[in-house]
């Protein structure tokens, strides 16, 4: 029984992988095998380096620590994909409000939260760097805060890492 379950799980995973890869095989293959970026453009249109504060790890009540960087911008400012990636999730959760998660090079997961609304993206679709993922807002637990993008970066197996040095390493524009 256990073996059957494991086989079904494996078959499901393989099917999912095939379904994701088939519409755009070479792009997904190169994405999955690409190295992690050594710098990341600010994922908010017109975002400047001196507007970003390194609030990584600061306490956020009940012992929770801030697992990302907040980029403040006017409501409705476009949130742009900082890398080419595969859209893994478009949805809502209690803390993040409207969020998008993106699988990028180096198997990194980029997480964009508190969005006002979503861009013209679809789940398991491929986006290019600069594509609109959504628009800055203050949904989720940011509803008492000025509109901002919460940007998180997750890698396996470490978990959340601080995107701040990567954002600062990108050339200023």
Interacting residue ranges for Zn ion, rule: CB under 5 A = 68, 70, 150
C-alpha distances in angstroms, 156 versus 44, 119, 130, 142?
A: 25, 27, 25, 27
> Does residue 56 have a cis peptide bond before it, meaning omega lies within 30 degrees of 0?
no
Tokens of 52: 């970003």
Q: With respect to Zn ion, which residue has the nearer C-beta, 87 or 142?
A: 142
Q: Nearest distance from residue 6's CB to Zn ion, in Å?
A: 38
Q: Nearest distance from residue 22's CB to Zn ion, in Å?
A: 36
Residue whose C-beta lies closest to Zn ion: 150
Q: Which helix (H) or strand (E) holds 10?
A: helix 2-21
Q: Nearest distance from residue 43's CB to Zn ion, in Å?
A: 13
Angle at 104 between CA 136 and CA 49, to 5 degrees: 50
Q: With respect to Zn ion, which residue has the nearer C-beta, 104 or 152?
A: 152
Q: Nearest distance from residue 2's CB to Zn ion, in Å?
A: 41
Q: With respect to Zn ion, which residue has the nearer C-beta, 71 or 86?
A: 71
**Is residue 69 helix, strand or coil?**
strand
Q: Rounded to an integer, what is the distance from CA 38 to the centroid of its chain?
A: 16
Q: With respect to Zn ion, which residue has the nearer C-beta, 124 or 164?
A: 164
How crowded is residue 25: how many other Cβ atoms within 10 Å of its Cβ? 11
């Amino acid at each position: 029984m256990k073996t059957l379950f494991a086989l079904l799980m494996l078959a499901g995973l393989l099917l999912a992988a095939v379904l994701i890869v088939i519409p755009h095989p070479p792009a997904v293959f190169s994405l999955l095998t690409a190295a992690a970026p050594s710098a990341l453009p600010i994922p908010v249109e017109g975002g400047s380096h001196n507007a970003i504060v390194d609030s990584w790890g600061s306490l956020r009540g009940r012992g929770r620590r801030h697992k990302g960087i907040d980029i403040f911008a006017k409501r409705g400012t476009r949130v742009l994909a900082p890398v080419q990636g595969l859209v893994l999730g478009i949805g809502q959760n209690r803390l993040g409000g409207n969020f998008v998660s993106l699988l990028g090079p180096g198997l990194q997961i980029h997480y964009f939260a508190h969005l006002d609304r979503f861009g013209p993206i679809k789940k398991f679709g491929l986006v290019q760097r600069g594509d609109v993922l959504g628009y800055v807002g203050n949904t989720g637990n940011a509803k008492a805060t000025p509109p901002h993008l919460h940007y998180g970066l997750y890698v396996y197996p470490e978990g959340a890492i601080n995107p701040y040095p990567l954002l600062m390493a990108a050339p200023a524009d």
